[in-house]
Structure 1
Amino acid sequence: MIIKKKKRIRKVTQITALNDGSIINSIDSDSMTDAPSINAVNRSFLSKTNPVLENNVSFKGKKNDGSEVDILSVIDNDIVVNTAKLKSSVQPVWESETETKKLLVEGDAAVGDTLPVGSGFLYTGEEPVPDNYKIAEPPFSNPNLLINGDFQIWQRGESVLAPSSGSYACDRWQIHRGTSTVSEILFQKDEKGISVFGDNQIGLLQHVELVKSRVLNKVFTFSFSVDGKKYVDTFSLNTVSNGVDGNMHNAYFADGNIFTEIYMDSGTRGLIAGIHLKNKKTNIINWAKLEYGELATPFVPKSYSEELALCKRFGRYIYISFSSNAAITGQTIPMTINFDIPFRVSPTITAIDSGELINTNSPVFGRTPNYLLVNLVSLTSGLVRIYKTKYWADAEIY
């Protein structure tokens, strides 16, 4: 739901003023306003050249209880508007995204301290709306450019302790060890997202497959939630980076304990977006979203099957069981495994479980993005068998 500023409506109470300025009638209304509207009898209400109702001219009037009130005549959009100078008990509410961003950045709202200048924000309905705000249905939710944005796919296993440099936690999310002690680093699956611990700076990043023409000089918004609190970073990149040359974007939150690191790789690794934590405690990153535009639209999770299919383009397990007969020693027996989802590039194959091999050694692989050619070479004539073997096929970006 979007926070909007509502245009001022000056008709909570309608007051009629005679030529002498006295008020003879008052009609209550349920409309929201910050001041009553004044209808002047026998005066030109729509003319800014009216000799009596000049701009910023005030005159005396009386309310129904007999007390005096100053009536101010001003020109608003070429219309003369007469308003009683009464203190309003109703605060304005919001209407446009531009004004939404200004209010939140200035810290007037409960979430203001998590938004850097230039960012916008849409409520999802999961948190209370700050005082003096209204709720309206969001007009849209942009597609998420990140895969596995709510960290639900863990094909390699549901926890990673003391990871090696550049390794992955859940699918598509690469670990940045930062300055944390390797033995103290722990990533694991949590029902609310991904649990992250490091005894110093630690991070997660994702390589997004976007070519330079779709990144440079475009406006993006990176939003994420940590321990149920939302953070928003709007940015634009105008040059590439090698990740250490300073040509990257950072935004700092929560006294610098949470920050982003974003850059367009100068090589072939795409757009890299990362979340970094250095508060030396366990945090739950609930979700992350990267989208085009200057507004953080609501995070809408994909289904498990959709996320899994997207993740399989970058890595998956392959299981092989196959039997044949060799006529002679040294005979090559081929088989082909077709991939229902093509890999990003030809995958590297790593044995996880060698299973059972009869009359053959480990297979020789021919690798393509679309299929895997498996060659078994017989040690003697007779039965050749590979059974219950498990391999990890990896086409991730490193």
Structure 2
Amino acid sequence: MKRFIVLAGMVTALLGTVSWAGAITYKGDLKADESVLFPEQVTPPANPPSGNRKLYFRDDGNLYQLDAAGIENPVIARGGKNALINGNFRIWQRGTSFTATGYSADRWWHEKGGGGAVTISRQSFALGQVDVPGEPEFFLRHDQTTGGSSPVPKIVQRIEDVRTFAGETITLSFWVKGTAPATDLTVFLVQVFGSGGAPSSDVAVNVGTYSFTGSWSKKTFTVAVPSISGKTIGTNDDDYLDIRVAQSAVNETFTLDIANVQVEKGSVATEFERRPLGLELSLCERYFAKTFPIATAPAQNAGVTGSLYWNGNSGVASIMWRFPVRMRASPTITLYNPSAANNNGRNIDDSTDKPLSQQHINDQVAVYAVSSASAANDNDRLSIHMTADAEL
């Protein structure tokens, strides 16, 4: 099969035979509706000289450029080029401000450091700002108010499946500003082979260091991801590729603002990929989902809006939650009483609470039942909120 480009219209100034070193030889003018055939390449061609690029079609149907180092870079990248989820920090299902080590913005885990104090918060861009392109809505602020020791303060995203980009060249890019620490921050890549069985030890790569100022600037890092040939992946399906921005030294304070984080194949940092909000939320919900309204942080006594209901009758008293998407694994379920500071179901007719017991959980659904047998016949309405956590 041959790929071809139809050149509509007249290409002028190509009279006779024109040739030069390394170029296509043209004979005469290309007429309207004439075409040029381009053979597909099964493998990359020979590297071009330094300072040059080669353009060619691969047998996957995409156009690539090859640099002098032999790195393939897609010229027209299809959707899904960014391996990170929520790289522009639009989704914050757990809340918008955090001080303890753990997850903050969806898919982003943070560490405050041993003995350290931090506030992770969602911050808004001003409408029409031009410092960071693409009109992003939010950025993440890591405010390290007390320096932390080992483990050092960091923000992390774990990309499911350690096979991701193994043996390939990738580029990490992001925008930053803030009040910098005395020592530069460091970007790490870590291949984690999971648990269960006899998995291989983690493989860590120091990608590079960077500094920043009070003005937004773009940072770009290109790294060769190690091959996993000869490695062993654990049996618990919890292996991943870890991308982290960490403090290089201990016990330093700083404020880091970060936006539009992207990890993609190749040696070139392309424009940030802004996916539809509904798609981005679905990607996040593979790892964490909730019954609360999207803008409501999970908490006890947060109101019945969006909660699950059981309408009492003479049958078995149970509440089922079918997750928005199939989750990465059977999740950990946390129960929240919509109207009290406990994890019982609330009878909204007589304001009494009834404990629930777990009946069944898999990656699609959670089912709970009223613990008391006598409650099975109550003609009341019972409500409950839940969260489901299947993070790596």
Task: Give me the TM-score of the superposition, normalised by structure 1.
Answer: 0.54
CA distance in 1, matches of 2:49, 2:98: 40
Q: 1:269 to 1:176 in 2, by over 3 A?
A: farther
Shift of 1:223: 1.4
- Corresponding residue for residue 286 of structure 1: 259
Q: Are 1:346 and 2:330 matched, yes or no? A: yes
Shift of 1:250: 1.2
Shift of 1:365: 3.7
Instruction: Select which of 137, 143, 152 maps to 2:81.
Output: 143
Q: Does the 8 A contact of 1:227 with 1:286 survive in 2?
A: no
Letter paired with 2:337: D
Q: Are 1:153 and 2:91 matched, yes or no? A: yes
Q: 1:150 to 1:98 in 2, by over 3 A?
A: farther
**Any idea what the Cα deviations from partners look like across 1:119-168, whole Å, max 9, x if unmatched?**
99x9xxxxxxxxxxxxxxx754771000000111100101101x14xx10
CA distance in 2, matches of 1:254, 1:193: 19
Shift of 1:304: 2.1
Shift of 1:235: 9.9
Q: 1:215 to 1:282 in 2, by over 3 A?
A: same
CA distance in 2, matches of 1:394, 1:238: 22
Q: 1:388 to 1:227 in 2, by over 3 A?
A: farther
Instruction: Select which of 360, 376, 379 maps to 2:374.
Output: 379
Larger Rg: 1
Q: Are 1:274 and 2:268 matched, yes or no? A: no
Percent identity, please.
Answer: 20
Shift of 1:363: 3.8
**Any idea what the Cα deviations from partners look like across 1:236-278, whole Å, max 9, x if unmatched?**
9899699997831113333699999998896433111111246
**Any idea what the Cα deviations from partners look like across 1:330-388, whole Å, max 9, x if unmatched?**
x7423433233111111111123354145842243410111222222433574254534
**Any idea what the Cα deviations from partners look like across 1:271-310, whole Å, max 9, x if unmatched?**
1111124662212111211111222111122232221111
**Any idea what the Cα deviations from partners look like across 1:81-116, whole Å, max 9, x if unmatched?**
xxxxxxxxxxxxxxx997499xxxxxxxxxxxxxxx
Alignment of 1:193-208 (within 5 A): 193-198=139-144, 199-200=146-147, 201-208=152-159
Q: Are 1:209 and 2:160 matched, yes or no? A: yes
Q: Are 1:297 and 2:270 matched, yes or no? A: yes
- Corresponding residue for residue 39 of structure 2: none
- Corresponding residue for residue 39 of structure 1: none
Most deviating of 285-294 and 383-392: 383-392
Alignment of 1:1-398 (within 5 A): 99=51, 139-140=76-77, 143-161=81-99, 163-164=100-101, 167-179=102-114, 181-182=115-116, 184-191=117-124, 192-198=138-144, 199-200=146-147, 201-212=152-163, 214-227=164-177, 247-254=203-210, 267=234, 268-277=238-247, 280-318=253-291, 319-326=307-314, 332-353=316-337, 355=339, 356-357=346-347, 358=352, 360-376=354-370, 377-380=372-375, 382-383=377-378, 385=380, 387-397=382-392
Partner of 2:333, secondary structure, is: strand
Q: 1:379 to 1:217 in 2, by over 3 A?
A: same
Q: Which blocks of at least 5 consecutive residues in structure 2 are unaligned? A: 1-17, 23-47, 54-68, 125-137, 179-183, 214-218, 292-306, 340-345
CA distance in 1, matches of 2:105, 2:353: 37
Q: Which blocks of at least 5 consecutive residues in structure 1 are unaligned? A: 1-45, 47-75, 79-95, 102-117, 123-137
CA distance in 1, matches of 2:269, 2:187: 8
Q: 1:301 to 1:119 in 2, by over 3 A?
A: farther
Q: Does the 8 A contact of 1:359 with 1:383 survive in 2?
A: no
Partner of 1:364, secondary structure, is: strand
CA distance in 2, matches of 1:234, 1:177: 16
Q: 1:236 to 1:387 in 2, by over 3 A?
A: closer
Q: Does the 8 A contact of 2:192 with 2:201 survive in 1?
A: no
Task: Give me the TM-score of the superposition, normalised by structure 2.
Answer: 0.55
CA distance in 2, matches of 1:308, 1:316: 9
CA distance in 1, matches of 2:324, 2:207: 40
How many matched pairs?
Answer: 261
Q: Does the 8 A contact of 2:187 with 2:246 survive in 1?
A: no
Letter paired with 1:215: F
**Any idea what the Cα deviations from partners look like across 1:30-54, whole Å, max 9, x if unmatched?**
xxxxxxxxxxxxxxxx9xxxxxxxx
Letter paired with 1:351: L
Q: 1:281 to 1:236 in 2, by over 3 A?
A: closer
**Any idea what the Cα deviations from partners look like across 1:205-262, whole Å, max 9, x if unmatched?**
11111343x432122211121129xx9x999989969999783111333369999999
Letter paired with 1:390: H
Letter paired with 1:299: F
Q: 1:315 to 1:385 in 2, by over 3 A?
A: farther
- Corresponding residue for residue 5 of structure 1: none
CA distance in 2, matches of 1:241, 1:97: 41
CA RMSD of aligned residues (A): 4.4
Q: 1:384 to 1:234 in 2, by over 3 A?
A: same
Shift of 1:172: 0.4
Shift of 1:194: 0.3
Shift of 1:193: 0.7
Q: 1:259 to 1:383 in 2, by over 3 A?
A: same
CA distance in 2, matches of 1:100, 1:241: 41
